[in-house]
Amino acid sequence: MKSRTKVVVIGGGIAGCSTLYHLTQEGWSDVVLVERNELTSGTTWHSAAQVTNFGMNQTMVGLKSHSIQLYKDLAEDPDYPINYHHGDGGIRLANTEAQMQGYRHFASMARGMDVQFEVIDAEECARRHPLISTENLIGGLWDPMDGDIDPAQLCQALARRARKAGAEVYRNTPVVGLSQYSDDTWTVRTEHGDIDCDIVVNACGYRVNEVGAMMGVHHPVASMEHQYFLTEEIPAIRDAGHRMPLLRCPISDYYCRQEKNGLLLGFYEQDCKTWGMDGIDPNFVNALCPDDLDRVTDVLEGAFARMPALMEVGVHTVVNGPITYTIDGAPLVGPIPGKRNAFCIIGLRAGLGEGGGHGWLLAQQIVHGEACYDTWCLDPRRFTGHANVELTSLKAIEDYQNEFRFHFPHEHRPAGRPAKTTPLTPVLAAEGAEFTVVNGWERVEYIKPTPDFSPSLSFDFDETFDLVAAEVANVQNGVGLAEVNGFNRIEITGADRHTFLDRMFCGMVTRRDGRVGLGYLLNHHGMVKAEATVANLPASDRGPHRLWYGSAAASEFHDMDWLTQHLRADEDVHLRSLTNDQTILVLAGPNARNVLSACARGDWSAEAFPWLSVRECFVGIAPATVMGVSFSGELAYEIHVPNASLYAAYLALRQAGEVLGLKLFGSRAVESMRMEKSFLHWKADLITEFDPFETGLDRFVKLEKGDFIGRDAVLKRQAVGARKKLVVLQVHATQQPAHPGASLMQSERVVGTITSGDWGHRTGLNLAHGFVQPGLADIGTEMELDCCGQGVRVTVIPRSPYDPGFERIRA
């Protein structure tokens, strides 16, 4: 066994084998995989092994397309062919028009990744799958590339190719410990000796937290028992002359695919069960859980109703094995939060079908720092301190129970709530607030007109439309108050704080006390990595000279990792997170200054406290830090308050604003207003697939200032020219917004993709942002939006259609 290698991958299932193989494809051959038993002895061996192209976003579709192409290549290898039933086709059924509308959106999204889904009616579903009944069926989504694969053969084929490229695989080699050193290298301790390495990858399936504990981390991954049956031969399948398509049924919570001349029938029962919560037997290898057929009786009845032939056939095998889930059902593929040179590829509930793509994206991140797609939807850092065992298990149960039910826009499922709150959460709930969730935080979405108000789930504008319009109008014409909790805030102190941030940002970082600036951080490929405000706070009784770095709530772990990884040993810079200690109250509207002046001492005039200023003060009796910044496009103040004083500040503002008609507003109103100002949203419009020039951030890039991360790459990219350009679009429709991922078309050809969209209540415009081919970025260019299957005309318009001169913000 080697004593030194570049990467050690721990785990020999599809996650580990795919990662090992793809590392060799990216040019790293000095890599090792260690497996405690035999390859595929965990979840992989009993996988139902379905291989679909369906995904909830373009990244997922792209990685699944890679899996399909890779598996086809492996199956056609004359030296080591594997069993892969490719192109049997698959149908996702629907019994509501809302589900069908969602399928049309996913078909539009997939077109942008060169994947062709088809939305079909009930009769066509039955024609393609003659075993199903059309009772209570409207139609479905057809995936022509759907199929299934042999799990063990797949992993052996990947390991074989990795070995041929120079990698080594050590079976029956349990890992017993991990040590990391000051230079960020690791020692992987096994029962057969130690391996020193630069990088460690946790690919341990349902044993993920056994290895996580060796690193001193916990991963939000839980296991669920999952049962499927193998039936006896079904004559209709035997005599069909072709393989039956795969079937996934959100109506009755089951799936099936052909297995020999029978069916493999799997269940997602409501009375589901977690597994391994109190530890896993070390001898649980190539093993299953006891059968529990009573749990699936209700689901089985639904399957019988949909497929009457099942009532005439016996069952010869029952499989009940653990599969892993995360808090949102998507895997964790990428850097482990708070660790260096440590990655994971875990929580792959549909591992066989998409594991080829997951390993591909992870290998790119390990070797190059980023993948070809923005991988935030998979990033382990998208969950932060709230991601404990109990929350993960509750969300795993909920996701299991809704396996084939996609999330609608603005759908907020109830399990595991509330995870993070502030002292104002119950106060705002009593005011009628409806809450959404942002990085676990309960954040006000809108104010309900009645306690039982419940909008329908739809891709159209819903019943909140007029409520949001009223909230926006109040902010535009009077004054509104909103709580923005969980906003990422890092306090930076030390003599070198400005030079450090100057190296991190692609633009100028303001050094003047009492001033705030907005800027962007790039990765080493010159792509947009992060967006942040930087506030310069002078020394006071609250602390020394310091900077406040502020960014999106979801970026809490992501940005802290990026900043700490680039600190130099000789720099006097200290980082401290304040994210969970303070909350923002946003005061916005033309009367905002009057409200603030009534409850906070000092001169708040435009001359004394202009836009992009910061000042420490008291709001009532509450210590506060006020910033003159706006995401709404109106005169606005961000009032940063310690959570212990938050309620006091809230009461002071409400009392001061009562005579001026102050009302609450929520995140839906903010989204509408930020679209009208063409303000961009991190991980919607700001992603690592595009550079700042392609994203329209030219004015924030100062190439002449000297060295910064990504500068050389940006210069090279600038010389080549833009591949896409971010544009603002007017959508000529009133029924629904443009949804992220939807395709923009010209002459039946995909020319762009929507990143965000919403109705602008002040402008009366249906607005969207999207990346399009550079030749289509000129003002006035028209395209067609595939909006849930309907062709809708869109026009490129100038940025900031509301108050383009920013006069209201500066008022």
Inter-residue contact 698 to 540 (CB < 8 Å): no
Distance of alpha carbon 453 from the chain centroid? 28
Q: Which residues lie closer than 8 Å to 62 by C-beta, 6 or more apart?
A: 55, 113, 357, 373
Rounded CA-CA distance 364/373 in Å is 10
- 3-state secondary structure string across 93-125: EECCHHHHHHHHHHHHHHHCCCCCCEEEEHHHH
Rounded CA-CA distance 104/176 in Å is 49
- 3-state secondary structure string across 208-233: HHHHHHHHCCCCCCEEEEEEEEEECC
Inter-residue contact 534 to 547 (CB < 8 Å): yes
Strand 186-190 to strand 663-664: parallel, antiparallel, or no bridges (unpaired)? unpaired
Sheet holding 663-664, edge to edge: 614-619, 622-627, 636-642, 582-588, 480-484, 663-664
Q: Which residues lie closer than 8 Å to 241 by C-beta, 6 or more apart?
A: none
Inter-residue contact 399 to 391 (CB < 8 Å): no
Q: In percent, how much of the chain has pLDDT > 90? A: 99
For 262, the enclosing helix (H) or strand (E) is strand 262-267
Q: Label residue 350 by pLDDT band (50, 70, 90).
A: confident
Q: Cβ atoms within 10 A of the Cβ of 282, count?
A: 10
* pLDDT reading at 710 higher than 90: yes
Rounded CA-CA distance 110/87 in Å is 17
Rounded CA-CA distance 364/805 in Å is 42
The phi-psi region of residue 161 (left if phi > 0; otherwise alpha if psi is between -120 and 50; otherwise beta) is: alpha
Rounded CA-CA distance 291/284 in Å is 16
pLDDT score, position 723:
97
Sign (positive or negative) of CA dihedral 405, 406, 412, 415: positive
Q: Which residues lie closer than 8 Å to 80 by C-beta, 6 or more apart?
A: 74, 157, 160
Strand 118-121 to strand 139-143: parallel, antiparallel, or no bridges (unpaired)? antiparallel
Q: In percent, how much of the chain has pLDDT > 70? A: 100
Cα-trace Rg, the chain: 27
pTM above 0.85, yes or no: yes
Q: Is 515 helix (H, G, I), strand (E, B) or coil?
A: strand
Sign (positive or negative) of CA dihedral 180, 358, 162, 12: positive
Task: Tell me how long the chain is.
Answer: 811
Mean pLDDT across 650-656: 98
Tell me phi and psi for residue 304, to 5 degrees. -60, -40
The phi-psi region of residue 312 (left if phi > 0; otherwise alpha if psi is between -120 and 50; otherwise beta) is: alpha
| Angle made by CA atoms 167, 151, 280, in degrees to the nearest 5 | 85
Q: What is the pLDDT of residues 107-127, one digit of tens each?
A: 999 999 999 999 999 999 999
Rounded CA-CA distance 460/735 in Å is 6
pLDDT score, position 245:
98
Angstrom CA distances, 547 to 493, 513, 535, 615, 645, stand at 6, 9, 5, 12, 22
Strand 193-202 to strand 4-10: parallel, antiparallel, or no bridges (unpaired)? parallel
Mean pLDDT across 74-92: 97
Q: Label residue 295 by pLDDT band (50, 70, 90).
A: very high
Mean pLDDT across 474-480: 98
Q: Label residue 42 by pLDDT band (50, 70, 90).
A: very high
> For residue 471, what are its two tokens?
């909230």
| Angle made by CA atoms 571, 574, 577, in degrees to the nearest 5 | 150
Q: Is 466 helix (H, G, I), strand (E, B) or coil?
A: helix
* pLDDT reading at 351 higher than 90: no
pLDDT score, position 227:
96
Rounded CA-CA distance 575/504 in Å is 14
Peptide bond just before 308 cis, omega within 30 deg: no
| Angle made by CA atoms 537, 338, 572, in degrees to the nearest 5 | 40
Distance of alpha carbon 434 from the chain centroid? 22
For 713, the enclosing helix (H) or strand (E) is helix 711-720
Strand 582-588 to strand 528-537: parallel, antiparallel, or no bridges (unpaired)? unpaired
Q: What is the pLDDT of residues 504-558, one digit of tens each?
A: 999 999 999 999 999 999 999 999 999 999 999 999 999 999 999 999 999 999 9
* pLDDT reading at 585 higher than 90: yes
Q: What is the pLDDT of residues 174-223, one digit of tens each?
A: 999 999 999 999 999 999 999 999 999 999 999 999 999 999 999 999 99
Distance of alpha carbon 751 from the chain centroid? 24
Question: What average pLDDT does the structure give for the chain?
Answer: 97
Nearest to 534, CA basis, from 520, 554, 553? 520
